[in-house]
Structure 1
């Protein structure tokens, strides 16, 4: 099986790549080729049985993916995106990467005759916003309050229509806020949700830019990767007629997140968090809903985290494991 990943140098792309190489198969089929695409050539370890093709490619350039699509990948993970705050700050950039490149990808699949290729796109809770019911589901109207959310919503509708027409076999996963991300903060408005845990647990100070009563809908990185892999296994008939779904996350307040930080990291870790309101970040994040009914995703076999303690404990363990191995 040939798998193509756009945005492969990003956090999710790297983690998905490692998992695919470790498993060596997708849905019972041997993985024979893995093509990794990003603006900077993604790095991946050599594999004795899987051909790795790592390319630096600007997918906003017309026809950039045509030659790769002509090689007929059986599975495409479309993870390339400009994140929320960056898309809000630069409308043109967000439109080029988040929307125009996705439309070009769909048109490339259409031209190459990839009707049976499963296309999995990562969408976002940001497709919702404004006046909303207390609890949302997959069919709640999309009323995004940011350019990023609007761009993702447009892509969702396109993938659904191309799938309805039999031009591609799409599956769109609306990702909760991913916590805890390793590494350093990025330009996403939700980046603080990881920073208020990651930095204090690592002995560094950080800033919380939103009120502690603010609620978020969250999911751990591991569960997101599990969901991406599971999305490749579902028959198209199980996804139709509407190809987008919200993954089963957890609703948690910032105050509850900080309490888990105190419980697992101690008072000294909690003391490393200072509170400095940022109206720009708050206006974006507060527009995202935090309570969902996700029975459809659960019926299809997607699994969420048990509780927020588990999310943070797994992060701590993952950070300790590399240090233990280096001793």
Structure 2
């Protein structure tokens, strides 16, 4: 089995790559190649054995085609985890770069699946990392029928990506699954453009005994998952039977909904009473409008398909740093 991960040096991509390298299998099938692509590789698994590095720019279609051909020869790609993106704040600041990464690169990877099928091969499973940013302004409850009204360029690009995955899947060129990821915790301190990075900061900094400022009020509510839970769901997406999903390959993942005050309580329960004094609040209306008004979340399609959230907020806080 040949598996490709884009954005393999990112927080989620690196965790997924490490899990796959350690298991050396997916869905009970052994991995022949684990191909990692990114501009550089940082903490990603080192090359060797089943693991290959392809360092380059996904927005360069000629490089991408040549690199994959050199890595695979005439062998097919069995699974593509497409995680590479230009996220939230970075996409707002540089929409041209965001279009190239979030839209152009996605189309070229999907086209690779088309080429594989038209050459007589099987369609690759295409796991696309979408985002809850597709929803934008939120109603009183979010469920499987909630309309997509993105408020940010990043969310708009993810909507387009979902539509492309649906269309290529309809034509039989890929076997698509688009997962709408919530906030993923706890990201490392490097700034990569996520406007919601403060949610990770709260967990990580308090665990280290350092003070942190939350840009939302104690009553603000959000959704999130631990990195462990998200990797579990990505791996499940690659092997789940999508029969009965209907016309759309997109699915909203279950997540833990909590308020900032509940998060502080969970941190106190884990680290002791002193943790409460480490968190202060300085609400920023723009940030709270984007991340602090999340209503109840209902995801029956995802639950029926075997996807899961963290068991509780306490479990999320524990898993987020593991």
**How many aligned positions are there?**
313
Whether 1:307 aligns to 2:319 is no
Maintained 8 Å contact 1:65/1:108: no
Which of 198, 201, 204 is equivalent to 1:195?
201
Output one character per residue of 1:147-191: Cα deviation in whole Å (capped at 9) or x when no partner. 111111110111011101111111011111112334545421111
* Equivalent position of 2:298 in the other structure: 293
SS of structure 2 residue aligned to 1:291: coil
* Equivalent position of 1:97 in the other structure: 101
Name the CA distance, whole Å, in 2 between partners of 1:290 and 1:84: 20
- Name stretches of at least 5 consecutive residues in structure 2 with no aligned partner: none
Q: CA deviation at 1:273?
A: 2.0
Give the TM-score, by structure 1 length: 0.89
Whether 1:135 aligns to 2:134 is no
1:91 to 1:155, Cα distance in 2 relative to 1, 3 A: same
Maintained 8 Å contact 2:214/2:283: yes
Give the TM-score, by structure 2 length: 0.90
* Equivalent position of 2:35 in the other structure: 35
Maintained 8 Å contact 1:119/1:171: yes
Name the CA distance, whole Å, in 2 between partners of 1:145 and 1:240: 27
* Equivalent position of 2:111 in the other structure: 107
Maintained 8 Å contact 1:41/1:57: no
Map residues 38-187 of structure 1 onto 2, 5 A cutoff.
Answer: 38-41=38-41, 43-45=44-46, 50-70=49-69, 71=72, 72-113=76-117, 115-130=122-137, 132-184=138-190, 186-187=192-193
Q: CA deviation at 1:276?
A: 2.4
Maintained 8 Å contact 1:115/1:166: no
Name the CA distance, whole Å, in 1 between partners of 2:45 and 2:203: 28
- Name stretches of at least 5 consecutive residues in structure 1 with no aligned partner: 319-327
- Which range moves more in the overlay, 206-215 or 133-142? 133-142
Name the CA distance, whole Å, in 1 between partners of 2:183 and 2:91: 16
